[in-house]
Structure 1
């Protein structure tokens, strides 16, 4: 017993002495993004680390000091559009839309608690954790406190995040998050992928990063070279996994933690539990995510789904923010908010109809539920094509929905066992890891703390000029040498031939 007590005391002492002071900075107001990071932040706090978190959302954790940003949250505030944005023109427009979203994040400097934190000269941190998305305002805190930092990505890595850690873009087989392409690309698709990846990266460096630098200078009085500072990132934790996003070579600074937000399922509300339990033919779960309001779903598109649901024996759970769903049939239950993760875990849920958001797709894959998706913008098409490539789902064209096509695909995915078999196979690979996504994230975060930023993880490619990275200087030198050799050979050959050729004088004699 004394040994046990001593062990517990030693563990307590070690935990206390290794507890880190961590600042989390999350200015982006999208709930779907924050839902990726929140379980991770809570777990760090539960393990004894002391966290201050700047964000739009309450952590509801006793050991986290929240500093809440005022302003609009991207949570069921958007009207569903009539068409998707997956044309090349639409992709170019989206990068500028991201900048408009970023411009609304500078209000984090107006939070009283944040100002007090910045003005308190005695405050110190061991680590800063932040999302690397459409702005780099959080790097101002890195410069202010001069500490190591970890970058988080809620989706497949964006080009500018790949650049800061020297991660190869792998454009020939790795679709850019916003490209809407699959891994198997034709020549034209690879060309589009290259244009989107490098185009977005150029826009970020030309517009987003200078804007972040200017706002940091205005609010913190620091003129920060973000091109240089961003490359000091100790680690990138990405919400991806090769079973869904495809395998790729990665640098040590990049760690995949796809599914980090997936907790063990909880008990469902009794009315939903009963609705699913009593469904003889199973249940379809229909949700368009946390951003778009279901009630704004265009009436003509909504009617097509209602007509299809009327023809099938399955029950439907539909996330719908309105008080009533016009044309709702008896087999449909609506709720303004659904416990999605817990619903998908129920064995009687047979199909997930979605917009293709990465969190929902991962939850469906984790539980082995096929997905029928109609992507609208962002990374949704890329996510869904990855699922379709694995045989675990299918796609509807949101811009041109047809009732007959919806009916055929819904019926096929409910009755054809191949979809369930394929998604179960993907689920097994997704779940089969030496340690969980959460344990992986915690281990590497604490690794960075233990090793004072872990600079030994950094690739020599970080900060390397593009012409060196792509060996343009070497290739140019080789080409010059080859051309010089060819010219010299030509010169000597012409001289030899002229010597061998009889002169005109000899010919006349």
Structure 2
């Protein structure tokens, strides 16, 4: 390289580094679910690690924050969600889940705006180059972002919610697009399609006319200039979506919806203590069981627990189970239990052969990252859609709670433990990792891109088209009108022609009669 070219390159890098380090980023995460923030935390710390000034409003302040990471803590203002979901799946629990989403969306907004530290930040009005906002159960944070007049990047730790498709211009068709809360995947039956259509309408209306309207009213108590939240939702520059097509299949996303699934998975550490001894002495390997931080395995009905224990006796593998109390009395040489387990470290261990899970997005991502076959038993939330994706991507098989019995679970384990199946999962994992840019780098890149070009609008035109135009109702109306006019004209012409023929026929007949009468006379 010529000296002049080298100098230009070094100066360019210096300018870019100075720009990146000067970025002020605000993150707003009003939801109090720990499982969500586990994902976001990795991204936020990475921004700070790269020298950005990061301010984070959340319920989960850092214990050891980087020097340029600043917490505005909401901790203690509302109880954090952990281990509260019932171990069952039904329309009733789905209805309860919808009410939970709606009411927590309202509560999160009130808690966020009532916080003195948040109000002080808004009054001080520091300059932020970009604002990262969780897209889940409330749009309240978009109102706060509006006060700072900075570009907004949305972020999710799961698949799209029903009420986010329209604002992003993402097509939703129940014939092939999985629904967040329901079974069926990309190959739904007629029953599933009817079910999806009903619940899609229900969730969207509940969000728009209860949660979003309440958020708008709450914001109006503090500010008098907040535009409609649905409008602000359409103004989001980019959405960082926790997807990757290797797992979820190809979807029709506009250019400003960026797939970043997998960035939260940290490097595994060696197992230690009794757990290390238990796993490494497993002659036939181990099977890991966990239902995440939301569902307590100990709330599983006793008869279902017994079905799982019966399967353990019939398989040569050892089992490691995240179990929250000491009521499970079994052979300690066969089963290791603890209320907390290093999930990533277990999944990364070469002795781990399979993973029985509730199909939460975090655990599913970690399983595909380390190439561990899954038996997915969804409970609620996005888990039914994740379980379908697990099966369709060849990462594992799904088993519904209602179908959990000894034989079904045994067959599921035997399928995923088959060496050919496990080899296929390793290939899926390899494809998952094979990307032009690592997911964390991708998330950081597009966040900074939004900061660099705040006056650009990247949303698809589909997000701005009225619904009647989106589904071509007006075009259909034009064609129906034209066809109707042609039909009416043809029908009228036929009537006129037929009328003339009939009149001519009558006249001819009348003339013949008169001639006959004349001859007789």
What displacement does 1:136 show?
0.9
* Structure 2 partner of 1:71: 77
Q: Are 1:229 and 2:214 an aligned pair?
A: no
Residue 516 of structure 2 is matched in structure 1 by none
The match for 1:443 is: 445
Residue segments in structure 1 that go unaligned for 5+ positions in a row = none
In structure 2, the partner of 1:165 is 168
Q: Is the 8 A contact 1:310 1:329 kept in 2?
A: no
Judging changes above 3 Å, is the alpha-carbon distance between structure 1 residues 493 and 180 closer, same or farther for their aligned structure 2 residues? same
TM-score, structure 2 as length reference? 0.90
State whether residues 67 and 111 of structure 1, in contact with CA within 8 Å, keep that contact through their aligned partners in structure 2: no
Please, which of 22, 25, 29 is the counterpart of residue 22 of structure 1? 25
In the other structure, the counterpart of 1:492 is: 493
Measure, in 2, the Cα distance between the counterparts of 1:8 and 1:289: 47
1:61 aligns with 2:62: no
C-alpha displacement at 1:453, in angstroms? Answer: 5.1
Which residue in the other structure is 2:518 paired with? none
Query: Structure 1 residue 307: deviation in Å?
Result: 2.7
Task: Indicate whether 1:422 and 2:427 are aligned.
Answer: no
Please name the residue that 2:354 is paired with.
351
Question: C-alpha separation between the residues in 1 aligned to 2:114 and 2:333?
Answer: 50
1:73 CA drift (Å): 4.5
Distance in structure 1 (CA, Å) of the matches to 2:47 and 2:455: 17
Alignment of 1:233-244 (within 5 A): 233-244=236-247
> For residues 157 and 32 of structure 1, what CA distance do their matches in structure 2 show?
16
User: What is the aligned partner in structure 2 of residue 137 from structure 1?
Assistant: 140
Deviation, 1:427, is 1.4
Cα offset for 1:391? 2.9
Q: How many angstroms does 1:154 deviate by?
A: 1.4
Deviation at 1:48, TM superposition (A): 1.8
Is the contact between residue 265 and residue 342 of structure 1 (CA under 8 Å) also seen in structure 2?
Answer: yes
* 1:84-138 residue CA offsets vs partner (Å, 9 max, x unmatched): 13x4x654443222112223312122333212212214x1211111111111110
Aligned to 1:37: 40
Answer yes or no: is 1:481 the counterpart of 2:482: yes
- Displacement after TM superposition at 1:324 (Å): 5.4
The yes-or-no answer on 1:114 pairing with 2:118 is yes
Shift of 1:151: 0.8
The residue aligned with 1:454 is: 456
Paired with 1:338 and 1:9, the residues of 2 have a C-alpha distance of 48
Secondary structure at the counterpart of residue 23 of structure 1: strand
Match in the other structure for 2:194: 191
Distance 1:459 1:399 in 2: 41
Q: Which residue of 2 aligns with 1:464?
A: 465
Looking at CA atoms only, which structure, 1 or 2, has the larger radius of gyration?
A: 2
* Change in 2 beyond 3 A, CA 1:496/1:508: same
Deviations, residues 140-178 of structure 1 (Å, cap 9, x unaligned): 212211211011121111122222221111332111212
Q: What's the CA shift for 1:314?
A: 1.3
CA contact (8 A) 2:34 2:82 kept: no
Q: Distance in 1 between matches of 2:249 and 2:488?
A: 47
| Local SS of the residue matching 1:289 | coil
Matched-pair contact (CA < 8 Å) for 1:129–1:149:
yes
Q: More displaced, 4-13 or 497-506?
A: 4-13
Shift of 1:21: 1.0
Tell me, yes or no, if structure 1 residue 181 matches structure 2 residue 175: no
- Alpha-carbon offset, residue 319 of structure 1: 1.1
SS in 1 for 2:378: coil
User: For residues 376 and 453 of structure 1, do their structure 2 counterparts lie closer, same or farther at Cα, with a shift above 3 Å needed?
Assistant: farther
The separation in 1 between residues aligned to 2:33 and 2:446, in whole angstroms, is: 25
Q: Tell me how far apart the structure 1 counterparts of residues 165 and 156 of structure 2 sit (CA, whole Å).
A: 11
Report the Cα distance in structure 2 between the residues aligned to 1:363 and 1:27, rounded to whole angstroms.
25
Q: How far did residue 426 of structure 1 move?
A: 1.9
Question: Aligned match of 1:382 in 367, 381, 385?
Answer: 385
For residues 192-235 of structure 1, the C-alpha deviation after alignment (integer angstroms, 9 at most, x for no partner) is: 22222233222211112101111212244544311212111101
- Tell me: CA distance 1:454–1:322, structure 2 relative to 1, closer, same or farther (3 Å): farther
Range 468-477 or range 162-171, more displaced: 162-171
Task: State the 1:436 CA deviation.
Answer: 0.9
Checking the alignment, whether the CA contact within 8 Å between 2:23 and 2:53 is kept in structure 1 is yes
Structure 1 residues 192 and 294, CA, compared in 2 at 3 Å: closer, same or farther?
closer
CA distance in 2, matches of 1:214, 1:412: 53
Closer, same or farther: CA 453–436 of 1 in aligned 2, 3 Å: farther
Q: What per-residue deviation string (whole Å, max 9, x for no partner) do you get for residues 291-316 of structure 1?
A: 12233333332222223223322111
Give the stretch that moved more between structures: 286-295 or 478-487. 286-295
Q: Report if aligned partners of 1:351, 1:370 keep a CA contact under 8 Å in 2.
A: yes
1:123-134 mapped onto 2 (5 Å cutoff): 123-134=126-137
Which moves more between the two structures, 460-469 or 294-303?
294-303
**Alpha-carbon distance in 2 for matches of 1:172, 1:307:** 39
* Among candidates 203, 207, 216, match of residue 204 of structure 1: 207
Q: After the TM superposition, which residues 201-280 of structure 1 pair with which residues of structure 2 at under 5 Å, given as runs?
A: 201-280=204-283
- Cα–Cα, structure 1 residues 329 and 75, in superposed 2: closer, same or farther, change >3 Å? farther
Q: Secondary structure at the match of 1:135?
A: coil
- Listed as ranges, the gaps of 5+ residues in structure 2 are 512-521
Taking only aligned residues, the RMSD between alpha carbons, in angstroms, comes to 2.3
Residue 8 (structure 1) shift? 6.6
Contact 1:316/1:332 (<8 A) preserved: yes
Question: Does residue 405 of structure 2 align to residue 402 of structure 1?
Answer: yes
Count of residue pairs brought into register by the alignment = 502
